[in-house]
Every structure is written in structure tokens, then in C-alpha cells.
């Protein structure tokens, strides 16, 4: 600590603090932009993810470019610029990215990341002239290659117009100028019902109707070959057709061919000149002219309004009616905004009430109906709350219950109406954002406070018991007990809610593996198919972050030692591709993460032999061990760190480390394996956890802990430093007098005989000025403190924690240690 | 700012089709292939409009709407249901769970564009 302090002081002196902050800003931002970028590079290889991946990479890189430029890192900037150029080319060109380029991209990003990391350590100057020659050379090679490649010809229907290649856009534009009736026809698969379409007839019909100028296929629904059912139409087709018939006629004609009872639908939409224009020039100018006529607008509005009437009519309970009323008013308000009857800030209801605008009768009637009903409801409610409440309760049994969310909107709705009356503000105010970004440290702090609250409460229950024991049970103690139970419940609820704030989907960590798995399997010449399940399972953020390394370890083991080489797999009758499953599942208050492979499994005989050879078990004992016990052997520290791990054909490489980490997170690891079939590693983890740093020390060879934040310093003193003052022992340290607490004595562990031989004592000086004597310091550690069960709770302990080695330590409450003196 | 729409449909082709129709009139389009994905996206961000398919594997469209209405995280978000079933009770069921508009497949693009604009109130 002193060293850091000195360093900082030195930096201050030479005015480096400012620079350090500046570099922190750059490094922090750059790291954020580069984080996980490899994942998106892999996305470039996937035909369907490609556009999105390219978009993400490009947006990150351009931000990074800006950043580098603002710091005058010219060489790095130009490198990033050429990367951007390359990725832009990739996005436009051929369907699949070949692995050579993606490897190069991955390497490039890795290089940038290592440059940034280096700069973090050695200062930003290192970024002024980075060594990138080799990369730059290869980029220009790739760019040259790209030039020779053909333009993309496949169009993804999900972005039909947006991703249309330039050629097609120009082509469509030309078409539209030549002829007004250009249609885009989508022959679309909406289900999996088997159908038989006479494709020849379909095409003939199309030719009859007009001129087909362009065809695209969407093959995304195609499953893997083994799952393919030839009778199911997986492919959707898009045609561009010029015809003098109208859309309805074309549709009718085509339906005659394919029949109506199928899962294949035909969608015919005219291609509008302005639509094309918009996509060739800029994306989405929402105010541009519509091609729909007045009649159509009227027709659609009528349809929407009559549906709103229906929507309102089916209300079953008063609450339901209010809920529906509120929604309908919202919809009508929007329609009025769209039609230009009211402005975004104008309140439709108010305007109708005050007869300020003239609106279609039907529209006004519906609004009036709703507000009249609503008013009546409010009157009823205020007249007789009891009846109202009872009614709600009965109706709650009915299918449509009143929902909390609805209550909230209703409340908001009412509030906004009353507000509108006075403020002349619009309905749009109803929609306020209800999500909030909060600094994680604040949540941690809150969590800690809540934890303390619960611990204090446990102490309270202990005190009440003590009072009862000493003075007997009275009305007061009973009442006190009731209050304490209530407090406890509130505390627990509070804890639950704060806990839930810290949860993240496990996807967060699963998403980081595909890239790594690919890399490892390529290095090892193995083929691995990754399947993830239960990605939405929620788990504490701290666990998510801490889990990465152990999981990486397990996955690496699975690929390295579990999954066989393709040729070996084929020989064994397995598929060439090894299967690796990452699966998360919430069971009770635990999350179980399974990492499963279908590799060669663990040969228990080999493990046994190895254990005997290393002297962990005797040969006799090994012979009687069951499978489970054998797998346990793998967790022994140092079991198979030797070089012949691959020969062992199992894992065990550092499994002790994995178990250690997981235990520290409050969880456990189990292993299941069958030789030849595969291995599963189960990580059992708590959903939530709060970690605290503690100081570990021993008392009579048992370990105890104190929260680190309560520890001021650690000192060793000689026996002559202990003095007596007013009959109590004190320690004089740098002229300061501190009360001394012999913890062993205090806890009733004292054994007089041994103390006499000590000449040097270890002291923990607490922040509250008490010097606590302990046997020996061990060090600091991050642990999860769990409150003791009520039967064992005591004010002297904050709780207990499980250490990495499975041992349990009690955590002392520093507040209470001063009290005994 | 352009209005945003979340299109929920298990068929990529349909999502693409409806997406391009709405993009045409200035919507920012996001897609979800099933109910769970949709819920996730809904929880993460406020959309101006939801377009929900009825028959989806894993989570039925109506179940999705019911859950969204239960949450009401971002205030009122209009929901358009796109259905292939044309039973008389189907649209009633849609309204019951809280859908604001019921359109049948295949959708008339202009009708969809107009409806989307009217429900978001954006010209």
C-alpha cells in the first residue's frame, strides 16, 4: 500500500496525474470498443449474421478511429482505416468469408488489443509508432484479392430492400421508370404443413401474368440434412414482376395454382418509386409522401376504430374496462395525431370535452363512452371502497385478474388526466421511461447495507431470547418478537429485491466461448459443434465474471482430452463433429451449469493407476474404489499436472483449481463420465452472492476472519510492549495507547500453558482503536459471508463462509470486539 | 427520431417481408424469432410498436402479449397481431389478451403501413 502511495505522490509531483487520467480515458474506451469484437468477426462467416456483424464491427471501428485520431495516433489510425475498408469490402462481396481472412482479422484485433494493453502498462507513447508492417502488407493483399471477387448476388429477404445489391436497386429503378406496374412477389413459407406445389405451373402462370425479371431465394429455413423432410417447403422465393394486372388479380391467380389450404402464402406488393429511391439514397425519411390515397386512409382508420370498439366492448370487469378504456384512448390519441387533428402535445380527451375540434362522430362517441364510464367508476369507487375491494377480490378469481401493471397505468392515466386539466400537457407524458442505469458499486453498497440490516436483525432476535431467559416472557417481549419477525421479513424481501438487481443472463458468458472453442479446435485439428441451452438463466453478475476462467478451463479440457480427432471418431462410429454442450438451468436457488462433451470420457482404470503411482492412494484401496470415488481423485491438487496428461485421456488438469474457484463462489463441482461416451462437468452455483474481503488468521489452529474494512493495520509486538493501565492490558504503539483484547481468552479458547512461551505477539489493530491479539496471520481473501442460521446466531459473529478448500470459517463482528473491554 | 418496431415471427421470411414494408415508411425495425427473444428485447428497450405473429413454437403470440401487458414496463406500447387463423373467436382472444389491432395474413402492405403509423401517431 505504501508503495502505491509513494508512486502516486511522485506522479503528482511531476504533474503526471493529469496524463494518467487522459491515458485511462483512452484505454478504457478503446478496451470497451474492442471487447468481444472477435465474436462479431466470427459472425462475418455466417451468411445470416454477416450484415449485423459487419455493422457492429464497423460502428465500433469508426468510433475507435475517431478516438485514435483525437490522440494523434496516425499510424494506428491508418491501420484501422484500412481494416474498415477491408470489412466494408467483405460486407459487400461474396457470401461466405473464408477463414484465412477471418483469422487475419482476429489476429489484427488481437494485435490492437495487445498494443492497448501494452500502452496501459507503459504509457500512451508506445502507441505513437506501433509495429504493424506485417499486418498492413497483408491487408493490401486481401484488398487486391477482394477486387477480383464478384459482387454479392444473394439477397436476404429479411432486409429485402435494404440489402438489395446496388445492381438490383439500379435495375429496379430503371424498371419503374419504364413501367409503372412493378411488383415484388414473395412466395412465402409460413408453417411446416407439407404441400405439393407444381413449380412449373407456378412459373408458367407468372410468365402468363407478366414478365419476371428477378428471382431471389431465402434458404434460411433449410435445416441440417439429417433433419430435412423433403415434403416440407423450406425455401421462400421473391420475384420481381412487371405486369399490367393489379396486385389483387395477381394474388388470386397465383393462389389458384398453389391452392389456399397450404402453409405457403403469396404476398404481392407493388414497388414504389419513392421506396426504392429512399433506399438508394438515404435510409428512412419518414415524412416522405405515401402512395396511399385518401380512401385507403379512411378505410384503414375505420377498420382500426371499429376494432377499438370491439376491444373496449369485451371488457368483463370494471377494472378491465378501465384498462381497455385507457388503451383505446391512447390509440385514438395517436390516430388523431397521425391525422393532424391534434398535435403531439395536444390532449384529445380534453379537446373533445371542451368541443374545441370537430372530429368524426364515431371517434367522438367512442371517446365519450370511455370517459363517461371511467367517471362513473371513479364515483363508485370513492363512495364505497369496501364494496369495491370485495368486488375486485371476487373477480380476481375470474380469468382476467387485475394486474399490478394495469393498476399502475390506470394510476398514471388518472394522474395524467388531472395533470392535463391544469397543465395543458399532452398524453405523451404518460409514457415515462421506467428503466434506470445504476452504477454497480451503488448496488453493491446497498446490498452490503441490507446484509448488515439482516445481520443486525439476527442479533436482535438473539437479544430478545436473552431477555426472555433472564426476565421471563412478558407481553413486551412478545410484542418485541412480533416486531422483530416483521423486520426480518422486510429485511429478507429487501434482500431478495436487491439481489435480483444484480442478476444477468448467463448468455453474457456463454457468448464469449464460440470464438475460443473454434480456435482451440482448429489448433488441435478437431471438429466441435457447440450447443448452448438455457442462456437466459439469470445469475449474479459477480459469479458471471468469476466463472469465465473455470469454464474456459473445463472447455479446454473437454476439447483437448475429451473430444477425439475426426478420424478416430469415425472409427468409433461417432459423428465426425464432436458435440460440446453448455447448458444452464435454475434449480431451486441454485444454477447448474453443465459442460458436456461426447468424447472418449474418463477411463477410471487409468486414473486409479495414476493415483497409485503418485502415491495418493494405496493399491489395495484403489481396487475397492467405486467410480464416483475415482473421479473424486481428479480434484486432488497436483493430480495430473505432469506432461503425460493426454495419455491419461481424461481431464483432471487443474480441476482442483476449478473446484477451488467455484467453491469460493459458494458453489461446487461434480464430474460424471462414462468411458467412450463422454464427460459432463456440473458447476453448481448460488444464484446470488455478495463477496467481502476478509483477513484470515488462526486461533488455536482454527481459522477465523475479520472484515478487511474494519482492519487498520497488522503489527507484531514484543511481550514488553504490553502494559497494565487501571488494571487493564494496553498496548503502546507509536505513542498511542490502545486497549488490548486477547481474542483467545475472550472467546474462551485460552489454554494458559502455552501462552507463556510466546515472546512475540501478532496484533490486528481495528479501526475502532482496539488491538486484537491473534495467533497467526494467514492473509486476505474474498469470501461470501452467509448469515448463521438463527439457532446459532450471535452478535459476535457476522456469519460464516466456506473457503476454497471446503473448510468453514466464522467471521467475527468487529463492532462487538471492543465492547468486552 | 424514427419510430421503432419489434417484429415477432418465427419465420424469417415473414419478418423480412413485414420489416421491409415498415422500413419503407421510416420505421427502425428489430426482429425476434420467438416469444422469449421478444420478451427479452421488450424488456431491454422501449419500442413504439410491436408486431406479433400468433402461431409460434415455444411461446404462443397471445401468451407473449399477455406477458407484455402484465409487465407494461415502458408505458403503453401498441400491439398489432398478425394472424393466419380466421376463426371468429380468434380476434376476440387477441383483444382479450390486450392486442390493439388484428390483421390477417397475408397483410396488405399499405394497410400495414397505415395502421403502424396510426398506432404510433407518427406521420
Q: Indicate the domain borders of chain B.
A: 4-120
Cis peptide bond prior to A459, omega within 30° of 0: no
DSSP reduced 3-state for A568: helix
Cα–Cα dist A796/A316, whole Å: 58
String of b and e for B19-34 (b: at least 16 CB within 10 Å)?
bbbbbbbbbbbbbbbb
Interfacial A residues in 506-545 facing B (CB < 8 Å): 536
**pLDDT given at position B8:** 93
Cα–Cα dist A787/A800, whole Å: 6
**pLDDT given at position A280:** 33
**pLDDT given at position A754:** 54
Cα–Cα dist A690/A560, whole Å: 34
CB distance A520 to A559 below 8 Å? yes
Pairing mode, strands B101-104 and A736-742? unpaired
**pLDDT given at position A93:** 66
Q: Are the beta carbons of A157 and B71 separated by less than 8 Å?
A: no
**pLDDT given at position A705:** 92
Q: Are the beta carbons of B11 and A308 separated by less than 8 Å?
A: no
How far CA A62 is from CA of A34, A45, A686, in Å, comes to 12, 21, 40
Residue of B nearest to A317 (CA): B96
- A392 interfacial to chain B (CB closer than 8 Å): no
Q: Does pLDDT of B78 surpass 90?
A: yes
Looking at every residue in chain B, the average pLDDT score rounds to 86
Helix residue ranges per DSSP H, A558-686: 566-571, 604-614, 619-624, 627-633, 645-648, 655-664
Q: Are the beta carbons of B74 and A434 separated by less than 8 Å?
A: yes
Looking at per-residue pLDDT, the higher value among A68 and B31 belongs to B31
Q: Angle CA(A211)–CA(A212)–CA(A218) in degrees, nearest 5? A: 165
Nearest to A408 among B72, B105, B111 (CB): B72
Q: Are the beta carbons of B118 and A286 separated by less than 8 Å?
A: no
**pLDDT given at position A697:** 92
Nearest to B111 among A300, A311, A337 (CB): A300
Chain A residues whose CB is inside 8 A of the B55 CB are 191
Q: Are the beta carbons of A265 and B105 separated by less than 8 Å?
A: yes
Q: Are the beta carbons of A160 and B119 separated by less than 8 Å?
A: no
Q: Are the beta carbons of B13 and A430 separated by less than 8 Å?
A: no
Cα–Cα dist A120/A29, whole Å: 12
Nearest to A338 among B16, B100, B122 (CB): B122
- A501 interfacial to chain B (CB closer than 8 Å): no
- B72 interfacial to chain A (CB closer than 8 Å): yes
Cα–Cα dist A147/A69, whole Å: 28
**pLDDT given at position A727:** 79
**pLDDT given at position A595:** 92
Cα–Cα dist A467/A476, whole Å: 11
CB distance A696 to A809 below 8 Å? yes
Mean pLDDT, contiguous 10-residue spans, chain A (821 residues): 40 44 73 78 70 81 84 84 83 64 82 84 78 80 72 40 46 59 70 61 78 69 68 70 76 75 69 44 33 76 89 84 86 86 75 74 83 63 37 36 47 50 40 62 80 74 80 84 85 80 83 84 86 86 82 86 87 88 83 89 83 83 82 76 41 70 80 85 79 83 87 85 82 84 81 61 86 87 72 76 78 74 41
**pLDDT given at position B51:** 94
CB distance A285 to A274 below 8 Å? no
User: A422 in the Ramachandran plot: left (φ > 0), alpha (ψ -120 to 50) or beta?
Assistant: alpha
Chain A residues whose CB is inside 8 A of the B116 CB are none
CB distance A581 to A593 below 8 Å? no
Sign, Cα dihedral of A771, A772, A775, A776: negative
Q: C-alpha cell of A689?
A: 452472492
DSSP reduced 3-state for B106: coil
CATH architecture of the domain B4-120 equals 3-Layer(aba) Sandwich (3.40)
Confidence of residue B7 (pLDDT cuts 50, 70, 90): very high
Q: Are the beta carbons of A433 and B46 separated by less than 8 Å?
A: yes
Residue partners of A103: CB distance under 8 A and separation at least 6:
none
**pLDDT given at position A13:** 40
Residue partners of A731: CB distance under 8 A and separation at least 6:
A717, A721, A722, A723, A737, A738, A739, A740, A763, A771
Question: How long is chain A?
Answer: 821
- A193 interfacial to chain B (CB closer than 8 Å): no
- B14 interfacial to chain A (CB closer than 8 Å): yes
The helix (H) or strand (E) run that includes residue A104 is helix A99-122
Residue partners of A52: CB distance under 8 A and separation at least 6:
A43
Residue of B nearest to A261 (CA): B84
Q: Are the beta carbons of B16 and A285 separated by less than 8 Å?
A: no
Cα–Cα dist A118/A236, whole Å: 51
Amino acid at each position: 500500500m505504501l508503495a502505491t502511495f509513494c508512486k502516486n505522490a511522485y506522479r503528482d509531483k511531476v504533474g503526471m496525474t493529469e496524463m494518467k487520467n487522459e491515458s485511462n480515458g483512452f484505454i478504457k474506451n478503446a478496451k470497451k470498443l474492442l471487447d468481444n469484437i472477435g465474436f462479431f468477426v466470427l459472425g462475418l462467416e455466417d451468411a445470416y449474421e454477416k450484415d449485423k456483424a459487419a455493422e457492429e464491427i464497423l460502428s465500433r471501428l469508426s468510433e475507435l478511429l475517431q478516438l485514435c485520431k483525437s490522440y494523434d495516433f496516425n499510424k494506428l489510425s491508418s491501420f484501422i482505416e484500412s481494416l474498415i475498408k477491408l470489412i466494408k469490402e467483405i460486407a459487400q462481396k461474396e457470401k461466405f468469408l473464408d477463414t484465412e481472412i477471418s483469422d487475419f482479422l482476429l489476429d489484427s484485433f488481437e494485435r490492437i488489443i495487445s498494443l492497448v494493453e501494452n500502452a496501459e502498462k507503459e504509457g500512451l507513447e508506445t502507441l505513437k509508432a506501433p509495429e504493424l508492417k506485417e499486418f498492413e502488407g497483408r491487408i493490401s493483399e486481401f484488398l487486391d484479392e477482394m477486387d477480383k471477387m464478384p459482387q454479392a448476388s444473394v439477397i436476404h429477404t429479411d432486409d429485402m430492400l435494404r440489402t438489395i445489391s446496388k445492381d438490383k436497386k439500379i435495375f429496379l429503378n430503371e424498371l419503374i421508370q419504364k413501367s409503372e406496374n412493378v411488383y415484388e412477389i414473395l412466395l412465402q413459407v409460413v408453417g411446416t404443413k407439407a404441400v405439393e406445389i407444381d413449380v412449373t405451373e407456378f412459373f408458367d402462370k407468372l410468365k402468363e401474368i407478366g414478365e419476371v425479371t428477378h428471382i431471389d431465394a431465402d434458404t434460411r429455413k433449410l435445416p441440417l440434412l439429417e433433419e430435412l423432410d423433403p415434403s416440407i417447403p423450406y425455401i421462400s422465393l421473391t420475384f420481381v414482376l412487371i405486369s399490367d394486372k393489379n396486385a389483387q388479380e395477381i394474388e388470386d391467380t397465383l393462389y389458384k395454382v398453389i391452392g389456399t389450404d397450404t402453409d405457403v402464402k403469396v404476398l404481392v406488393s407493388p414497388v414504389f418509386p419513392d421506396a426504392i429511391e429512399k433506399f438508394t439514397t438515404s435510409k428512412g425519411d419518414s415524412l416522405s409522401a405515401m402512395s396511399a390515397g385518401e380512401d385507403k386512409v379512411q378505410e384503414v382508420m375505420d377498420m382500426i376504430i371499429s376494432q377499438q370498439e370491439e376491444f373496449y366492448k369485451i371488457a368483463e370487469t370494471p377494472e378491465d374496462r378501465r384498462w381497455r378504456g385507457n388503451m383505446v384512448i391512447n390509440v385514438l390519441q395517436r390516430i388523431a395525431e397521425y391525422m393532424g387533428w391534434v398535435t403531439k402535445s395536444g390532449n384529445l380527451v380534453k379537446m373533445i370535452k371542451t368541443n374545441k375540434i370537430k372530429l368524426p362522430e364515431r371517434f367522438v362517441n367512442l371517446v365519450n363512452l370511455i370517459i363517461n364510464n371511467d367517471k362513473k367508476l371513479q364515483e363508485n369507487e370513492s363512495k364505497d371502497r369496501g364494496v369495491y375491494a370485495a368486488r375486485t377480490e371476487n373477480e380476481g378469481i375470474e380469468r382476467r385478474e387485475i394486474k399490478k401493471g394495469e393498476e399502475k397505468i390506470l394510476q398514471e392515466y388518472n394522474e395524467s388526466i388531472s395533470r392535463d386539466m391544469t397543465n395543458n400537457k399532452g398524453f405523451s407524458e404518460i409514457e415515462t421511461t421506467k428503466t434506470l442505469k445504476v452504477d454497480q458499486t451503488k448496488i453493491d453498497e446497498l446490498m452490503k447495507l441490507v446484509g448488515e440490516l439482516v445481520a443486525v436483525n439476527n442479533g436482535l432476535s438473539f437479544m430478545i431470547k436473552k431477555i426472555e431467559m433472564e426476565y421471563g416472557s412478558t407481553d413486551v417481549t412478545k410484542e418485541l418478537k412480533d416486531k422483530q419477525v416483521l423486520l426480518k421479513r422486510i429485511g429478507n424481501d429487501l434482500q431478495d429485491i436487491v439481489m435480483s438487481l444484480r442478476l444477468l443472463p448467463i448468455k453474457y458468458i456463454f457468448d464469449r466461448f464460440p470464438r475460443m472453442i473454434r480456435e482451440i479446435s482448429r489448433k488441435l485439428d478437431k471438429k466441435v459443434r457447440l450447443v448452448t441451452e438455457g442462456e437466459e438463466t439469470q445469475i449474479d453478475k459477480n459469479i458471471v465474471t468469476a466463472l469465465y476462467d473455470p469454464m474456459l478451463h473445463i472447455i479446454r479440457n473437454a476439447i483437448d482430452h475429451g473430444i477425439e480427432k475426426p478420424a478416430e471418431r469415425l472409427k468409433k462410429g461417432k459423428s465426425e463433429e464432436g458435440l460440446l454442450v453448455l447448458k444452464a438451468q435454475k434449480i431451486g436457488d441454485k444454477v447448474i451449469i453443465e459442460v458436456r462433451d461426447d468424447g472418449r470420457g474418463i477411463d477410471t482404470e487409468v486414473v486409479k493407476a495414476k493415483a497409485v503411482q503418485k502415491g495418493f492412494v494405496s493399491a489395495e484401496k484403489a481396487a475397492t474404489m467405486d467410480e464416483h470415488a475415482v473421479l473424486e481423485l481428479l480434484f486432488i491438487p497436483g493430480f495430473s499436472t505432469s506432461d503425460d496428461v493426454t495419455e491419461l485421456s481424461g481431464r483432471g488438469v487443474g480441476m482442483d483449481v476449478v473446484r477451488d474457484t467455484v467453491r469460493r463462489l459458494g458453489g461446487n463441482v461434480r464430474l460424471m463420465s462414462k468411458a467412450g461416451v463422454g464427460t459432463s462437468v456440473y458447476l453448481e452455483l448460488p444464484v446470488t452472492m455478495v463477496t467481502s474481503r476478509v483477513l484470515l488468521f488462526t486461533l488455536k489452529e482454527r481459522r477465523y476472519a475479520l472484515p478487511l474494512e474494519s482492519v487498520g493495520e497488522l503489527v507484531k509486538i514484543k511481550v514488553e510492549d504490553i502494559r497494565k493501565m487501571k488494571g487493564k492490558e494496553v498496548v503502546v504503539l507509536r505513542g498511542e495507547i490502545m486497549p488490548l483484547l486477547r481474542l483467545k481468552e475472550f472467546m474462551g479458547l485460552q489454554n494458559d500453558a502455552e501462552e507463556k512461551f510466546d515472546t512475540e505477539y501478532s496484533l490486528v489493530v481495528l479501526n475502532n482503536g482496539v488491538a486484537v491479539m491473534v495467533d497467526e496471520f494467514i492473509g486476505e481473501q474474498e469470501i461470501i459471508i452467509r448469515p448463521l442460521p438463527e439457532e446459532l446466531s450471535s452478535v459476535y459473529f457476522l456469519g460464516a463462509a466456506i473457503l476454497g478448500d471446503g473448510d468453514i470459517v466464522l467471521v467475527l463482528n468487529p463492532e462487538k470486539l471492543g465492547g468486552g473491554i | 427520431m424514427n419510430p421503432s418496431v419489434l417484429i415477432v415471427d418465427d419465420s424469417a421470411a415473414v419478418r423480412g417481408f413485414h420489416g421491409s414494408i415498415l422500413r419503407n415508411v421510416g420505421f427502425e425495425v428489430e426482429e425476434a424469432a420467438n416469444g422469449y427473444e421478444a420478451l427479452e428485447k421488450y424488456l431491454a428497450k422501449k419500442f413504439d410498436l410491436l408486431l406479433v405473429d400468433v402461431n409460434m413454437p415455444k411461446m404462443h403470440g397471445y401468451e407473449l402479449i399477455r406477458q407484455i401487458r402484465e409487465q407494461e414496463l415502458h408505458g403503453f406500447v401498441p400491439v398489432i397481431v398478425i394472424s393466419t387463423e380466421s376463426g371468429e373467436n380468434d380476434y376476440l382472444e387477441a383483444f382479450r389478451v390486450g392486442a390493439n389491432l388484428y390483421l390477417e395474413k397475408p397483410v396488405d402492405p399499405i394497410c400495414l403501413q397505415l395502421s403502424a403509423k396510426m398506432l404510433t401517431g407518427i406521420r
